[in-house]
Structure 1
Amino acid sequence: MAGFSAFVGILAGGYLALTGGLYAGQRRLLYRGGGPAPDPAKAGLDGLRVIETKTSDGLVLRHWYIPGPPGAPVVAVFHGNAGDIGGRAGKYAPLAAAGFGLLLAEYRGFGGNPGKPSEQGLLADARAVLDWLNAQDVPDARIAVYGESLGTGVAVAMAGERQVRATVLEAPFTSIADIAQAQYWYVPAKWLVRDRFDSLMRIERIQAPLLILHGGQDRTIPPRFGERLYAAAPDPKRWAFFEEADHLDLWDRGAGATVIGFLEEHLAKQPGRVAEPA
């Protein structure tokens, strides 16, 4: 019996150590940006320029921006949890080619930017980006927010706060807590999550037309999470499912054309102009 008690104690200790390790290291798992600032010259995109925003907590962050034609709507892209905007420029370049302005937003702690990422930090970064666009004579009514993976949590929050024109979510989740619990089923992961990005709670606040994209082979964020989010979202909304797509190749499987068609339908050009960045 003493041996069994010792065995149980070892198991319990190991379980607590594992749980504690996940809690302490969760932000390193969730935010995997780091690295130096990407070189915009290597993106090969005409009209691309680096712009700076200042967040409410005083950070100066760098982003990439391609202005569209005068009066054109702008798509603000919030990327996923790994890499930086340099790795997304080619993917989202068709949006600029279609005549939209394109702002590739970069987070604190990513792509050479200062600061440490957190949920509240990323939301502050996104607000600063949208405020910057407003200051360039691009009102919310000419902005679409686009979220990719982790960035869908940012995009949902912004679409709920602002009167944006359209929202696109690529491989979204209900909440980080739900994803953590699904991946780490053997610990009470959902109760340990600091940065919850609770899109399921926030989705009902969205008033703009919504497009959700998901791949049938996505193992990182399985489509059931996107389906639940879609079911909770108010109309007007559209679900675009790509059976053969996984988490990373939706645009290679035809999602790009779907996105551009959706934006062309809902981002009607309005009077005004896209000013040159200061």
Structure 2
Amino acid sequence: MPWADRLLLTAACKAVRFNRSVVLPGTASLYKTNRRVHGRLCIPEHFCKGVVLLVISTLLFIENTRVLAQQSTIQTPQLLLTLMDRPEITNVLFHPVQVARNTPPQGAVDIDVSVAEDVTIACRLYSADPTAPTIVFFHGNGEIIPDYDTIGPMYVRERLNFLVTEYRGYGWSTGMPLTSTLLPDSNTVFLSLRQWLSDHAYTGPLFVMGRSLGSACAIDVAVNHSELVDGLIIESGFAKTLPLAVVLGVDLAQLGISEEQTFNNSAKIATFTKPTYILHGQYDQLIQLWQAETLHAQCDAKQKELQVVPRADHNSIIAVAGPLYFQEIRKFIEKATGTAPDWRELRRQFKARQKQAAENHDR
């Protein structure tokens, strides 16, 4: 219940308990005989109880309606997602590339997570420091872990742990990718990775991040385990599945599938209140910019930000933004965790960079 409603309800209840008059907004036209005290409308005692009961019943009705609405939209049951386990859908949704396990870069470690009998999901942690923030990352539908062997170290330079997860049938993970198992697997992997981090003394804040298809995984994990995460990061994500499916060449509406029977990202993110950062390319033609704008508008977080990268498309945000991409993510995490340096520290860092640049130039 919003804090203003709680305050009004508390004041009303105290007024009834102590037989006092209570000042309520919007009542001037209801009573012609009311008196004013210090310029405010004061309701006499004999009107208080009826008005208070009306206020209480109205607030309770609004609260119950809000809770029921959230409960009906927070989760996308696995049974509904099985409707999308059709070849004409999975063939455009998933583009798995299977490769043999490669050697992790220096400082990286592989983690395997079992999600079902004979099904193992591969993960790789690019580690900066056990006390640093960790990002659990769900990648796009045509990517695999080795694609991030050059990107992971860039997060490490910003003193961020970067933990990439796969999907069934991707990389050296086993199984077959299905819509009905994508989100349950993501939640299982997240909980297993969190336990692994705890067992290995990683104590920093925990964020979930998703790119493209991975945005559905990240949003679902963040909503289902909001008490375990410190924030959500979305890159090139989508709010509505049906319009995206049309772009990919599948009309889900003609197949009898509604938005509520898909990933339902916009409804889910409307229940998420932790810090949220959304990145999107200005010229993304696959997942158009309005999708990111919808996610940002629907998100219920007080601290939320939409960063549009000029001239970038669906697959070129990092190439266009360069080091700023990783720096801005670090700055968001610092703000979300309350560890952002003050202006004095920023000035010291700026002068240190100037000095380093001058020394490099002299060489």
**TM-score surpassing 0.5?**
yes
Distance 1:190 1:227 in 2: 27
Aligned with 1:217 (options 275, 279, 283)? 283
Distance 1:236 1:196 in 2: 27
- Could you say which residue in structure 2 is the equivalent of 1:36? 99
TM-score (norm 2): 0.61
- Could you say which residue in structure 2 is the equivalent of 1:53? 113
- % of aligned pairs identical? 22
Relative to structure 1, is the Cα distance of residues 184 and 33 closer, same or farther in structure 2, using a 3 angstrom cutoff?
closer
Distance 1:79 1:38 in 2: 17
Relative to structure 1, is the Cα distance of residues 83 and 193 closer, same or farther in structure 2, using a 3 angstrom cutoff?
farther
Cα pair 2:247 2:286 within 8 Å, conserved: no
Distance 1:140 1:226 in 2: 31
Deviation at 1:258, TM superposition (A): 1.8
Aligned with 1:98 (options 151, 154, 158)? 158
**2:190 aligns to what SS in structure 1?**
helix
Distance 2:257 2:298 in 1: 25
- Could you say which residue in structure 1 is the equivalent of 2:218? 155
**What residue identity is the alignment partner of 1:82?**
G
Q: 2:208 aligned with 1:145, yes or no?
A: yes
Aligned with 1:265 (options 315, 324, 335)? 335
**What residue identity is the alignment partner of 2:107?**
G
- Structure of higher CA gyration radius: 2
C-alpha distance after superposition, 1:18-41 (max 9, x if no partner): xxxx95321011110132234134
Distance 1:203 1:50 in 2: 30
- Could you say which residue in structure 2 is the equivalent of 1:246? 313
Cα pair 1:40 1:49 within 8 Å, conserved: no
Deviation at 1:192, TM superposition (A): 4.7
**What residue identity is the alignment partner of 1:181?**
V
Cα pair 1:215 1:223 within 8 Å, conserved: yes
Distance 2:167 2:202 in 1: 22
Which protein, 1 or 2, shows the higher relative CO under an 8 Å CA cutoff with sep ≥ 6? 1
- Could you say which residue in structure 2 is the equivalent of 1:24? 87
Q: 2:182 aligned with 1:122, yes or no?
A: yes
**What residue identity is the alignment partner of 2:210?**
G
Relative to structure 1, is the Cα distance of residues 48 and 139 closer, same or farther in structure 2, using a 3 angstrom cutoff?
closer
Gaps of 5+ in 1: 1-21, 270-278
Deviation at 1:83, TM superposition (A): 2.5
C-alpha distance after superposition, 1:175-218 (max 9, x if no partner): 32231134548784574589822111110222220001111110
Distance 1:252 1:193 in 2: 36
- Could you say which residue in structure 1 is the equivalent of 2:236? 171
Deviation at 1:166, TM superposition (A): 1.2
Distance 1:140 1:71 in 2: 5
Distance 1:157 1:183 in 2: 22
C-alpha distance after superposition, 1:30-76 (max 9, x if no partner): 110132234134xxx32111111121566222211133323222111
Distance 2:184 2:204 in 1: 20
**2:137 aligns to what SS in structure 1?**
strand
Cα pair 1:56 1:124 within 8 Å, conserved: no
How many residues align? The count is 245
- Could you say which residue in structure 1 is the equivalent of 2:267? 201
TM-score (norm 1): 0.78
**1:256 aligns to what SS in structure 2?**
helix
Cα pair 2:286 2:314 within 8 Å, conserved: yes
- Could you say which residue in structure 2 is the equivalent of 1:272? none
**What residue identity is the alignment partner of 1:70?**
P
Distance 2:97 2:103 in 1: 17
**What residue identity is the alignment partner of 2:285?**
R
- Could you say which residue in structure 1 is the equivalent of 2:295? 229
Cα pair 1:38 1:85 within 8 Å, conserved: no
User: Considering only aligned residues, what root-mean-square deviation do their CA atoms show, in Å?
Assistant: 2.7
- Could you say which residue in structure 1 is the equivalent of 2:49? none
Cα pair 1:76 1:143 within 8 Å, conserved: yes
Distance 1:166 1:83 in 2: 24
C-alpha distance after superposition, 1:98-145 (max 9, x if no partner): 112221111111112111212342223322332223323178982111
Distance 1:193 1:36 in 2: 35
Relative to structure 1, is the Cα distance of residues 205 and 187 closer, same or farther in structure 2, using a 3 angstrom cutoff?
closer
**What residue identity is the alignment partner of 1:171?**
S
Gaps of 5+ in 2: 1-84, 340-363
Distance 1:115 1:206 in 2: 31
